[in-house]
Structure 1
């Protein structure tokens, strides 16, 4: 490990919620007491065996954990290079990794005496997971979602409503994930006395990035133990995750962050091109700034305002990254790559045809890069990809916009 990356849980974040120079609490003063209450309550409950017992009970019974690691035998043979494995977070109840922190936030809300959960969603996977957790724990639920994503992800909207959540359409800005986050933050300011903001990723002011990372850490802990078991005690050479806010990435990175020989790859959406506004590749093209209450790396216009973004994957259409992702990138712990919409669709179709797995378009970014990487690495190396979600939500969009008769590119 790089000398300037200390042991994860011992020093990140610091007492003020900073990861190096990123993070902190840059939020309206009227919420400071609520965030201090949240941090205090979380730190107390995080040390409680009873809390973890209750959380693990839900993880097993409701979620279906542990999720397995699966070898992509067919595509690995096609590529002829490094061997590819996936962590099957798509097999979670509700179809994605998001439920890992949603059940944690719901249990935390109950313990704090809150009666409602508020959140944003892009692709809808976080919204469905939170609505599920709220229904299970008997809490109200309010989900803010951009109108563009509501139209694109109608099945997930229906699921949220069926589960009892109120879906709030957001028509400002690009009507996408960033705008839904703005709307949800504002709702939390108004309702914080009785509601908890169950943020959708490892973003926002302290303590949100830490809480999401900790709840998602179950992915990395399981993956490490499982990989050691199936490979007779050796670790993968590469761990790959798609990155926007960073919840799935921080989840799987946690299991390998202290292993210097394991390369952590962050895969961003290149969208339609590298022109500002046509992608959401923040680590590749962003610069330090403040977004949603935290210092991080942000895609910005010349005047410092957040830039417009584009990605075929609604859950990655965000002009920033979580502060811990920013810190790891600046310290040189992450290898960064960007994948175009075209390559994502090719991988989406290829996974379905040759592996019998339909991945979320978000996850297909990580898989596309893994295929590219595998072709460049020897067969003795292993690549572990966090398959963060399934693609049921994306089937309608793909069928409407792409020709299934086209053969996936096997190069």
Structure 2
């Protein structure tokens, strides 16, 4: 990896080698250009950086800690650590980029924030940012996910946000993105689409990655302070891939650190529509204005997907992840619904930490790694807390004895 990695990727057209770009309607090209220019202007501004740092410290509660899982490590082997993004305000890593995107919107004179959400964490985070800056907010969410993640829907409404149900197709994350893009197209002058992951047309994959880099920067320093060395493995769940890019970004030059992105094997990898294993079984294609690995049907269209975790059931993935896969810099693995649920309860019972189902995929893979490598250290990005998932888990899986 080049030491100028972040200056090289993406290039000026927004490509990470062959992935990324901006495949968008002509009426959005000028708006994307304005967003790109505004981002580069303020991201170099001392005033913007100072305000964002102040928000992170005094409003978000950063830095979030790194925690050693003593009982989990004793049971499974290895030394398992968690980067506690569940302790970030609103309960997940999403606020890291939402506060940055809302600050950018304010700088550009936008009046309204529009976004999609799957598990609701991005929606809650953006609703929080909108309330903080006094902006309107509209969140699009699949009907299936609205029912599944009802506590987060209520949180968004309490924060003053309008929640729009996506009622077409499978009524999950992809359809929410479709719906949100449509709403943004109606008024791109006064609104801004605040994408919830490292996906979408350029410059959003770059912007979200840059705002999430704080996770990796903190974690690297914290882990070294705690242990005197770097972790042997870093593990993060991958849907679109924002939390993973956030923590991976700090370790891309460290050859001794193995990076693992964990996606949903769902109910089965054998049948299209039963999983969301984009990196494992997908191939390059274009979705929502960018090129990436994508699960496709026989017509080359985005395939139906499934995951117990609403925030991971997306048929595409971030373009930077697609590049890192081709470069063999990150190993992309998959975890089934059952393994995810088992890890959800294990972390809860052994460490007193209830993880989000998205994060439970990473925890599940870390437990596998610990068994296979009992003398190695593993750092998991615990991207969110599981309050939002309690009703769904209990209703569908019950409580273990």
1:11-70: CA deviation from partner (whole Å, max 9, x where unpaired) = 000010000100001011110000000000000100001101001111111111000000
How many Å separate the matches in 2 of 1:105 and 1:277?
Answer: 33
Quote the residue 1:285 is aligned against.
Answer: 281
> What's the offset of the Cα at 1:6?
6.4
Corresponding residue of 1:33: 30
Question: 1:120 touches 1:143 (CA, 8 Å); kept in 2?
Answer: yes
The answer to whether structure 1 residue 304 and structure 2 residue 281 are counterparts is no
Of 45, 50, 53, 1:48 maps to 45
5 Å-filtered alignment, 1:3-402, equals: 7-80=4-77, 82-232=78-228, 234-274=229-269, 275-379=271-375, 381-402=376-397
**Cα gap change, 1:405/1:262 in structure 2, threshold over 3 Å: closer, same or farther?**
closer
Q: 1:382 and 1:151 mapped to 2: Cα distance? A: 38
Q: CA deviation at 1:333?
A: 0.5
CA distance in 1, matches of 2:354, 2:34: 41
1:402 Cα deviation (Å)? Answer: 1.3
Offset at residue 252 of structure 1 (A): 0.3
Q: Which residue of 2 aligns with 1:409?
A: none
Q: Deviations over 1:335-370 (max 9, x none)?
A: 111000000110101111111000000000000000
Q: Aligned partners of 2:241, 2:287: CA distance in 1, in Å?
A: 14
2:215 is paired with a residue whose SS is helix
Deviations 1:271-303 (CA, angstroms, capped at 9, x unpaired): 000111100000000000001100111000011
Structure 1 contact 7–258 (Cα < 8 Å) conserved: no
The Cα of 1:384 is off from its aligned counterpart by 0.5
Cα distance in 1 between the residues matched to 2:258 and 2:328: 10
* Distance apart, 1:378 and its partner CA: 3.2
List gaps (5 residues or longer) in structure 2: none
Unaligned segments of structure 1, at least 5 residues: 407-411
- The size of the alignment, in residue pairs, is 400
Contact 1:289–1:297 (8 Å) recurs in 2: yes
Matches of 1:405 and 1:133, distance apart in 2: 37
